[in-house]
Amino acid sequence: MDQGHFTETPFVRKKRRAETIAKCFFGGMAAAMVIPLILIVGYVIVQGAPSLSWEFLTTNPRLGGIRGGIWSALVGTIYIVTISLCVSAPIGVLSAVYLNEYARDNWFTRIVNLAVVNLAGVPSIVHGLFGLGAFVYAAGMGKSILSASLTLAIMTLPVIIASTKEALAAVPVSFREACWNVGATRWQTIRRIVLPNSISGILTGVILQVSRTAGETAPVMLTGVATFKAIESTGLLLYNPVKDQCMALSMHLYYIATQANNAASSLPYAIATVLIGVVLAVNATAIGMRAYLRSRKKW
């Protein structure tokens, strides 16, 4: 012991080996999930990237969708994502404010929380059925961009509620107590301290929903997304959200991959690549925002 280190007994060596085996075993399981992902996604991108060009993105599809570009699908997706987030973000944020700042600890709050969890678990096709029954038929909106957007809004609502609640809860309770002590009302506390200091977290949660909304097919295929519809109008509003149906990237991929005959074999890969690109871009933005958040922490 005067040399300052322990001699390695066979026991220690055996233990170290067991540790390494454990690490490899569990690491292997993680790798088994991650490596196929990277390979598969990489393959799709490699197959689809050559078809991507500015022209591809901005040209209307032709011949029922199997030729030409994806312009109308791109625009349709943008419309649906924008309208649905404009509806679900305010409702979701305010709902989370209620749950985190106003709700008391009683059975009613438990039921509301339960409703949020269950809303999150409803299958996407059931959301589509709901949209059909409620917006398309009962509310008389017909199959339109509006119906599809509202259906998607209800779908993303619980996720926005959950992520906003997390952002609000990250603001320490001691701040709120300090505000109450000087006679601020609940709303004053929220408006002046809680919301400004959680807005970045809230925005991150909302932005993440962009990629989710853009990728959903089942809810919109029943409520307002058509398999083929080129954009003819040249006015500012390329679609009329209340009357028109539209195309969407997700539906387009489904149609081309399963039902279209004589489509170029690279076309579905290209569409999938665009969708994956959207997902990567959105998630990268969210990660960047989170890192920025952490560096600018005010407390």
Partner 1 sequence: MMPTIATDMQATAPGSAAATRLKQRRGRVEMLGERAIEALIHLCGFSAIIFVFGIFFFVFREGAPFLAKLNLGEFLFSTEWFPTSQTHAKYGVGALIVGTLSVTGLAMVIAVPFGLGAAVFVSEFCSGKAKETLKVVIELLAAIPSVVWGFIGLTVMSPIIIRTFQVPIGVNMFNGALLLALMSVPIMVSIGEDALKAVPDSYREAAIAMGATKWQLVWRVLLPAARNGLLAAMLLGVGRAIGETMAVLMATGHSVRIPHSIFDPVRTLTATIAAELGETSKGSDHYQVLFLIGILLFTITFVVNLAADLIVKGVKMK
Partner 2 sequence: MAIQPKIEVHDLRLSYGTREVIHGISFDIREHEIFGIIGPAQSGKTSLLRCINRTIEFNANARVSGTVTVDGESVRMVKNVYEFRRKIGMVAPLPVGLPLSIYDNVAFAPRCAGMTAKSDLDGLVEKCLHQAALWDEVKDRLDSLGTKLSGGQQQRLTIARALSHQPEILCLDEFSIAIDPVTTMRIEEVLKELRKEMTIILVTNLTQQARRLADRTMFLWNGEIIELDVNDIIFGNHPKDRRTYDYVMGIFG
Interactions with partner 1, residue window 113-142 (CB under 8 A): 114-130, 132-134, 137-138
Q: Which is nearer to partner 1, 63 or 139 (CB)?
A: 139
Yes or no: say if 282 and 246 are a contact pair by the CB < 8 Å rule: no
- Taking the C-alpha atoms of residue 199 and residue 258, their distance in angstroms, rounded to an integer, is 42
Q: Is there binding between residue 121 and partner 2 (CB under 8 A)?
A: no
Size of the site for partner 2 (CB under 8 A): 20
- Nearest approach in angstroms of CB 72 to partner 1 is 18
175 binds, among partner 2, partner 1, none (CB under 5 to 8 A by kind): partner 2
> DSSP alpha helices (H): ranges in the chain?
10-48, 54-58, 71-97, 107-121, 124-131, 145-169, 173-181, 186-189, 199-215, 218-221, 249-258, 266-295
Using CB atoms within 10 Å of the CB of residue 147, give its burial: 0 to 12 exposed, 13 to 18 middle, 19+ buried: buried
Q: Which two structure tokens, joined as six digits, stand for 221?
A: 């295929």
- Residues whose CB is less than 8 angstroms from the CB of residue 149 and which lie 6 or more positions away in sequence, other chains included: 79, 80, 83, 84, 87, 224, 241
Number of neighbours of residue 93 by Cβ within 10 angstroms: 24
Q: Is there binding between residue 23 and partner 1 (CB under 8 A)?
A: yes
Q: Is there binding between residue 118 and partner 2 (CB under 8 A)?
A: no
- Nearest approach in angstroms of CB 201 to partner 1 is 16
Q: Is there binding between residue 73 and partner 1 (CB under 8 A)?
A: no
- Taking the C-alpha atoms of residue 88 and residue 6, their distance in angstroms, rounded to an integer, is 62
3-state secondary structure 172-213: CHHHHHHHHHCCCCHHHHHHHHHCCCCHHHHHHHHHHHHHHH
In the region spanning residues 142 to 171, those forming contacts with partner 1, defined by CB under 8 A, are 154, 157-158, 161
Q: Is there binding between residue 40 and partner 1 (CB under 8 A)?
A: yes
Q: Which is nearer to partner 2, 189 or 217 (CB)?
A: 189
Q: Is there binding between residue 257 and partner 1 (CB under 8 A)?
A: yes
Q: Which is nearer to partner 1, 215 or 238 (CB)?
A: 215
- Nearest approach in angstroms of CB 64 to partner 1 is 16
197 binds, among partner 2, partner 1, none (CB under 5 to 8 A by kind): partner 2
287 binds, among partner 2, partner 1, none (CB under 5 to 8 A by kind): partner 1
Q: Which residues bind partner 2 (CB under 8 A)?
A: 104-106, 174-175, 177-185, 188, 192-193, 197, 298-299
